[in-house]
Amino acid sequence: MITHKAQEVIQAIGALSSEEKNYILESLLKFQTEPEIQKLSDLQAQYPNEWLAVILPAGEDRYAPSRGYLFAHSRERASVWRQVAQLPSSDDVYVFFTGAPSVKGFGVTFHDTADSPVVASVGD
């Protein structure tokens, strides 16, 4: 017999969007298996033109990582960042796009720890 709390959870999950349901399912499945450390170059080849979020293993250089655990991927940047926002703040996460760099004249804003924006141009 299903308890009242379990029924509430089932109803709440039923009201979620397909994307949210998939996220919950993927999250639950990740806890069942030990994640595999992968080279970022292999992930880039496997997921072309997508945003990737990779959890960095202990000892990995957070500014120039070469490997990690794939946490999330999507063609939509916002989808990946929503998933990253759910991680504990103690995790080192590297988020990057596997496609070609932007065209000339496109602006990029970087925020440092003091939240002071620094703008850089990319492209030729």
- Clarify whether residues 3 and 20 are in a common domain: yes
Q: Residue 109 is encoded by which pair of tokens?
A: 């804003």
Q: Reduced to 3 states, what is the DSSP secondary structure of residue 80?
A: helix
Contact between residue 83 and residue 25 where contact means Cβ atoms under 8 Å apart: no
- Clarify whether residues 19 and 39 are in a common domain: no
- Clarify whether residues 72 and 99 are in a common domain: yes
**What confidence tens digit (pLDDT) does each residue in 73-96 have?**
999 999 999 998 888 888 889 999
pLDDT at 11 over 70: yes
Q: Which of 1-10, 26-35, 64-73, 105-114 has the highest mean pLDDT?
A: 64-73
Range of the structural domain that residue 8 is part of: 1-33
Q: Reduced to 3 states, what is the DSSP secondary structure of residue 23?
A: helix
**What confidence tens digit (pLDDT) does each residue in 26-59 have?**
877 766 566 789 999 999 999 999 999 999 998 9
Q: Please tell me the distance from the alpha carbon of residue 35 to that of residue 64, in angstroms, as a whole number.
A: 21
Contact between residue 78 and residue 95 where contact means Cβ atoms under 8 Å apart: no
- Clarify whether residues 112 and 72 are in a common domain: yes
Domain count for the chain: 2
pTM of the model: 0.57
- Clarify whether residues 26 and 41 are in a common domain: no
